[in-house]
Amino acid sequence: MIALLKKEMFNDRIREILSYVPSAIFPAIIFPAIFLDNFGTIQLEDNPKILAAIIAMFVGIYSRNIIATIFAGLASYWTIIFI
């Protein structure tokens, strides 16, 4: 419904509030994929996804490039699980 509305219909305060929605939703989507196992319990030991996420985070911070971040995360994860 909100996607069908024009930006001009919202006042500045509403636009500012809605600008935080993607950064609030993204961690809620990513957290279970990284930290939870198939049974829904938190898996911190021997979890290659955590190390790959940390590597991708550093690449993202230093490169400011989303494609480089995605490739670094995937490459590091595949390297960790196959070696």
- Whether 34 and 53 have beta carbons less than 8 Å apart is answered as yes
Binned at pLDDT 50, 70 and 90, residue 9 comes out as confident
Question: Structure tokens of 73?
Answer: 């995360």
- Whether 61 and 55 have beta carbons less than 8 Å apart is answered as no
Question: Structure tokens of 24?
Answer: 């609030």
Binned at pLDDT 50, 70 and 90, residue 5 comes out as low
pLDDT digits (tens, 9 = 90+) for 25-64: 988 899 999 999 888 899 899 999 999 999 999 999 999 9
Instruction: Give the Cα separation of 51 and 76 in Å (integer).
Output: 8
Q: Is the C-alpha dihedral spanning 24, 29, 80, 68 positive or negative? A: negative
- Whether 49 and 82 have beta carbons less than 8 Å apart is answered as no
CA 54 to chain centre: 11
- pLDDT at site 4: 65
Kindly list the domain boundaries of the chain, sorted by start residue. Answer: 1-34, 44-83
